Amino acid sequence: MVPRTIDFATLSLQDALDLAILVEEEAKERYDELAHQMELHHNQDVGGFFRFMVKIEGVHEGRLEHRRTELFGAAPRRVRREMLFDVEAPDYDDVRANTTPRQALEVALRAEKKAHEFFTRALAAVKDPAVQALFAELCEDEVEHAGLVEQQLSRLPPDPVIKAEDVEDDPVAH
């Protein structure tokens, strides 16, 4: 069976970098899926925002890959995507067909906070000082990203009040 947990205590810098790359890859793919879902439901604004997030996560992934290649070249990867479950990828359940741009930003904010929690928890278990430094840096990055999303949120006007019955098929089971 593929291990579904990560032993942070024994993580090397190479593994840690690979893990961080995979975290970004997972988030990028999820935003792509969510963008497709929104486009399918004619929610272009939110779809566009999720597409923007695909680019952002791709940039983060690229930076980490560059660093990994500089340090370890093409040394084979030892950690697997199957060990990760929604670290920085927004929860599927967090999005609905009628998600508003404001709610979409909140989705991204929760995702950044989730990633911050992940690296903070990991940091407590990590032994290797180089890995500790990397995870501390990633924690800071997540705080910065969350701050940027919060800034955007503060600029958006509040959502209009929409009653559930305006958007739900009728009658919905209750």
Partner 1 sequence: MSSIPVERPALQAKDFKSDLKPIWCPGCGDFGVLQAIYRALAGIGRPPHEIAFVSGIGCSSRIPGYTTAYGFNSVHGRALPIAQGIKLARPELLVLVAGGDGDGFSIGGGHVAHAIRRNIDLTYIVMDNQIYGLTKGQLSPTSPRGLKTVTSEYGSLEAPVNPLLYVLAYGASFVAQGTPADMAGLADVIEQAIRHPGFSFVNVQSPCVTFAPEDQQVKAQRGRMKTLASVGHDSTNRLAAMGLAQTYGEVLYTGVLYKDPAPQPTLDALVRERQAKLALEAVPRERILDMFLQK
Residue 13 found at the interface with partner 1 (CB under 8 A) = no
Residue 151 found at the interface with partner 1 (CB under 8 A) = no
Among 63, 77, 102, 114, binds partner 1 (CB under 8 A): 77
Q: What is the DSSP letter of 89?
A: S
Residue 1 found at the interface with partner 1 (CB under 8 A) = yes
Q: How far is Cα 117 from Cα 110, in angstroms, rounded to an integer?
A: 10
Residue 44 found at the interface with partner 1 (CB under 8 A) = no
Cα dist. 15→18, 22, 59, 156 in Å?
Answer: 5, 10, 20, 39
Please choose, from the candidates 100, 111, 99, the residue with its C-alpha nearest in 3D space to the C-alpha of residue 145: 111
Query: Which residues of the chain form contacts with partner 1 (CB under 8 A)?
Result: 1-2, 4-5, 18, 21-22, 25, 33-34, 36-38, 40-41, 61, 65, 68-69, 74, 76-78, 80-82, 85-86, 91-97, 99, 168-169, 171-174
